[in-house]
Homo-oligomer: A and B are copies of this chain.
Amino acid sequence: MPTHYSGPPQEIQALNAFINLIRAADSISAKINTALSDYGLTETQFGVLESLFHLGSLCQKALADKLLKSNGNITMVIDNLEKQELVLRQRDSRDRRYITIHLTPKGQSLMEKIFPAHVGRITTLMGVLNPEEQEALRQLCRKLGKHAQELCPETLR
């Protein structure tokens, strides 16, 4: 579904690429989130567990930055994961402002159990693209995401 906007070709093209990008991400996220909800996890909760699983223990600010969420939201997400005993908080003794979040053994084994199926679903969803296409998509998105994050707000006015 192309845009119905009429304007300079450069803008039309940017708009069409944008629309398809957002739509693809939304459609895929929806499928993945449905599967995660079967484990009682939200997308952000899973994002926290995944970060800890692959990167090791992190403080809340690092998680907020990585997951592009607000600090306040991460506080609540960690609260809920703590209630499920999947993570635990540990105050940093050197700098008491920081709280390091660790996976509990229960959290660790949950991730070991569900992560393979998660990757399997992603592989299925991405499977409509061949390896060369997936690599091309990765590079294009990487450049795009990097650029967007570095762009200072004034440039967009």
Q: Chain A residues in contact with chain B, CB under 8 A?
A: 3-5, 7, 10-11, 13-18, 20-31, 34-35, 54-55, 68, 115-116, 119-129, 131, 133-138, 140-145, 147-149, 151, 153, 155-156
Contact = CB atoms under 8 A, between A and B. Distances in A.
Contact of A68 (B27, B68, B131, B140): B27
Contacts of A26: 25, 68, 145
B34 A144 contact: no
B148 A140 contact: no
Q: How many copies does the complex hold?
A: 2
Given A5-B119, A68-B27, A10 B131 contact: yes
Nearest to A125: B148
B144 A129 contact: yes
Given A11-B119, A23-B141, A126-B144, 4 more contacts: A14-B127, A21-B138, A23-B145, A25-B25
A27 B148 CA distance: 6
A124 B55 contact: no
7 contacts: A4-B55, A22-B25, A22-B29, A24-B144, A121-B156, A129-B143, A129-B144
